[in-house]
Chain A
Amino acid sequence: MTEEVLTQVHPLEPALRTERLPHIWCVGCGLGVALGAFASTILENKFDLDKLAVISGIGCTGRMAGYLKVDSFHTTHGRAIPFATGLHLAKPEMKVVVFSGDGDIFGIGGNHFIHAARRNLNITVICVNNFIYGMTGGQVAPTTPLGANTTTTALGNYEYSFNIPLLAAAAGATYVARWTVLDIIKLRKSIQEALNKKGFSLIEIISPCPTLYGRLNRMAAGVEMMKFLKEHSVFKKDAKLEDAAITDGNQIITGKFLDLEKPTYLEMYESSVGAKIKQMKYEKMLAEEESCQEC
């Protein structure tokens, strides 16, 4: 008689490339939480994993695509969104998600972001914002709060940071939300909403980076950074975009900032160019029929 071996299967296993674990992220990093939230959302809501693609750029969050057991692409720095654009247009029936970091999407890839939002492509962008360039060792990012120490602003950051939700809304996004990794229930619900949203959706996830941002700003332990996010984030039901700026990091407004309906890129295409082509083909067919009758 063979002995029965009992093994516990992790509930997220169907969505993860378990052979790639453990992941590369540091102790206390929020990326694992973001990954877990995404994986549990797609499993719980029974999204077809064969019809879901995740595209990442470069950086700590850039490794996200590699852990998810879906069609996943790890592209060049900042270029996840244009890659996703091509894939979405080729496979409009798939859910295409860009999962990448603040430096990747809003630093080197900023232009791609605003144009994808402007076009209202039916894709979801999840940006994990840890206020810093993590993978390269803690340099200032376009999201670093004023006064914060980084390895390239040793005396404190003096550059204004992006108000990401306001930027996304101004560029044309139809769904904009921000959560910290502590808001796990709201985050999961938001991921579900964004994936089901017809149009360009953005979720900003504020994540602790104790190894670099924390260490340089007197919060070296993961728990200290978590405590900081808990104390300084404020959930607002009717969160206003103008209030979303994270100026000095002492007030982080979370919530759903925008959720509106607007025809998508492909819908716009279908109703203008597509309609004209159909008309042209119809007229051509009529003309051909006519010429046939004449002969």
Chain B
Amino acid sequence: MKEDPIIASGAHFMSGNEACAEGALAAGCRFFAGYPITPSTEIAEHLAERLPEIGGIFIQMEDEMAALNAVLGATWGGFKGMTATSGPGFSLMMENIGLAVMTETPCVIVDVQRGGPSTGLATKVAQGDMMQAKWGSHGSYEIIALSPSSPQEFFWQTIKAFNLAEEFRTPVIILADEVVGHMSEKVIFPSPDRLVIKNRKLSRLTPAEYHPFQVNGNGIPEMVKAGDGYRIHVTGSTHDYRGYPFMTAEAQANLIPRLVNKIRDRKDELIDAEEKDCEGSEVVVCAYGITARTSYYAIEKARESGIRVGQLKLNVVWPFPEKVIKKWASQVKAIIVPELNMGQMVLEVERSAGGKCKVVSVPHPGGDIHRPEEILEAIKKSIK
């Protein structure tokens, strides 16, 4: 079989960050703008080497605000673009995540999470940006965020992130963490024919007929590229179907619910919560990212001691799988939520469980991962 010139199909041994970079290339990413920050830098370094040789563009910007904006500019030039960062840089990106949402600019933002707040634990793991990814930019909006728990998943999720960004015309965030970013494992790249790559819908209308934010049935307008004669106007201000700013409550009412609902209305097809041994269990451990893997051992030990434990692994964290949680909440005694923060996604689990079962937070300030015994302890305690 002919070798794919972009990614080398077959088995590799590589870090999560490198797998992410290769996944981006496989998805068609040809523009990366970034700013060095531990523990995400390897993504930029890898792409700085790989992009030029395949005709792509890499640029190291002066800060993360610039990095994301450069991605947005390149995206309107027709490229698929990505940036990668960690906590402090993610904070700086919030302003322009809002711009990407408002201008419906597809892009991928990778946050390899480390300990915070502030500079925090620059080199060590945490999962403290979960709520920031959802609420960090001002105003009302919906976001899509994925969370990988291995280099292999990081690879697949990066491709998925691009596909979702292109389909929904929205920024998609990958909430990875330092351990997943830096651990090296076997990563299998598929043969090119196994890859499903989606591209933004480009308008076939003439410039005279086309309006940049005119929506069709699914609430997602078709895009065009700068330089193709459409002479579009795109603004971060509240705008009408022509893209012109309108400072009225009516314009806001026409725009914001559409931006929110294009994701909310399709929540069911977006959510991805992996259920393992949940049927007939009395306890479910709900986790994501590296913590989902830490939980495996605790679950195994608990099962050995006779407790029926299942696992709910969140591959997509936003939109949150309320229905899935609700379903299991009415069937189990307790849902255990270990996470490398002082309790973030557990709030969503509690809200979704609606008091139908016990919800137990197993917080951890970050710096290292949970000891499986902590999770095991919580499982045992919850059924007493």
Contact = CB atoms under 8 A, between A and B. Distances in A.
A12 interface: no
B374 interface: no
Given A83-B69, A85-B61, A86-B73, A73 B227 contact: no
Contact of A74 (B65, B96, B233): B233
A90 B52 contact: no
A221 interface: no
Nearest to B70: A86
A82 B236 CA distance: 15
A76 B59 contact: no
Contact of A83 (B52, B57, B72, B225): B72
B234 interface: yes
A90 B31 contact: yes
Contact of B66 (A55, A115, A277): A115
A51 B236 contact: no
Interface string B52-79: 1100010101110111011111111111
A86 B81 CA distance: 10
B73 A83 contact: yes
Contacts of B367: none
A51 B66 contact: no
Interface string B225-236: 111111111111
A86 B72 contact: yes
A143 to B, nearest CB: 21
A71 B236 contact: no
Contacts of A65: 233
Contacts of A273: 52
A83 B233 contact: no
A83 B75 CA distance: 10
Given A50-B231, A112-B66, A74 B74 contact: no
Interface in B92-135: 95-96, 98-99
15 contacts: A50-B229, A50-B231, A71-B76, A74-B233, A76-B69, A76-B95, A76-B236, A79-B95, A82-B67, A89-B59, A89-B77, A90-B57, A90-B76, A94-B226, A115-B66
The 7 closest A-B pairs by CB, nearest first: A90-B77, A86-B73, A86-B70, A82-B66, A74-B235, A87-B73, A86-B74
Contact of B234 (A73, A89, A91): A73
Interface string B18-54: 0000000000000101000000000000000000110
A73 B62 contact: no
Interface string A256-287: 00000000000000000110010011000000
Contacts, number: 136
Contacts of B234: 72-74
A78 B226 CA distance: 21
A196 to B, nearest CB: 18
Contacts of A76: 69, 95-96, 98-99, 236
B96 A79 contact: yes
B244 interface: yes
Interface string B259-290: 00000000000000000000000000000000
A80 to B, nearest CB: 8
A50, A76, A112, A115: most-surrounded residue (chain B CB, <10 A)? A76
A79 B65 contact: yes
A53 B99 CA distance: 18
A75 B233 CA distance: 11
Contact of A66 (B78, B79, B81, B245): B245
Contacts of B228: 50
Interface in B206-251: 225-237, 244-245
B235 A87 contact: no
Chain B interface SS verdict (over half): mixed
Interface in A22-78: 49-51, 53, 55, 63, 65-66, 69-76, 78
Contact of A71 (B95, B98, B230): B230
Interface string B296-325: 000000000000000000000000000000
A111 B63 contact: yes
Given A73-B76, A74-B234, A82 B226 contact: no
A230 interface: no
Interface in A106-122: 111-112, 115
A90 B228 CA distance: 13
Contacts of A274: 52
B75, B95, B96, B235: most-surrounded residue (chain A CB, <10 A)? B235
Contacts of B63: 111
A73 B232 CA distance: 8
A82 B74 contact: no
A123 B111 CA distance: 31
A98 to B, nearest CB: 11
Contacts of B226: 53, 71, 87, 91, 94
B103 to A, nearest CB: 8
Contacts of B52: 273-274, 277
A10 interface: no
Contact of B57 (A49, A66, A81, A89): A89
A82 B73 contact: yes
A74 B236 contact: yes
A20 interface: yes
A93 interface: yes
A131 B231 CA distance: 31
A142 B76 CA distance: 31
Given A72-B232, A74-B233, A84-B73, A93 B227 contact: yes
B50 to A, nearest CB: 11
A79 B236 CA distance: 12
